[in-house]
Amino acid sequence: MTDTVKAWIEERRAIQASGVPFSDRDSRANFPRALTAIEAVLGVHRPDQNGECGECTVIHHGNWHVYHLEYPCPTVRVIEGAINHD
Ligand SMILES: [Zn+2]
């Protein structure tokens, strides 16, 4: 686990221990790093000119492995599902 993830978890625990109502804890002001992380992930998992996720598409020139993943890729679908409570 990276220091960044540890710090994020500690921040979440501190917010939960503060007793602040859930609706307030869930606000952008109280989750800036979590939202920044989500925005960063969604920023790289974007459709390319072929409608495929540019981040998940893998091309290995050694053995010519080409793997294309349609957008939205599983990463984007998981994030969107969590936001939409699917
Ligand atoms: Zn992707």
Question: How far is the centre of ligand 1, averaged over its atoms, from the C-alpha of 18 (Å)?
Answer: 36
Q: Residues 30-56: what's their mean pLDDT? A: 85
Q: Residues 27-37: what's their mean pLDDT? A: 69
pLDDT at position 72: 92
Question: How far is the centre of ligand 1, averaged over its atoms, from the C-alpha of 34 (Å)?
Answer: 19
Q: What is the pTM of this model?
A: 0.58
Question: How far is the centre of ligand 1, averaged over its atoms, from the C-alpha of 23 (Å)?
Answer: 30
Across 39-43, 70-74, 80-84, the highest mean pLDDT is recorded for: 70-74
pLDDT at position 38: 85
Q: Please indicate whether residue 29 or residue 77 has the higher confidence score (pLDDT).
A: 77
Q: Which helix (H) or strand (E) segment is 75 a member of? A: helix 74-83
Question: How far is the centre of ligand 1, averaged over its atoms, from the C-alpha of 13 (Å)?
Answer: 29
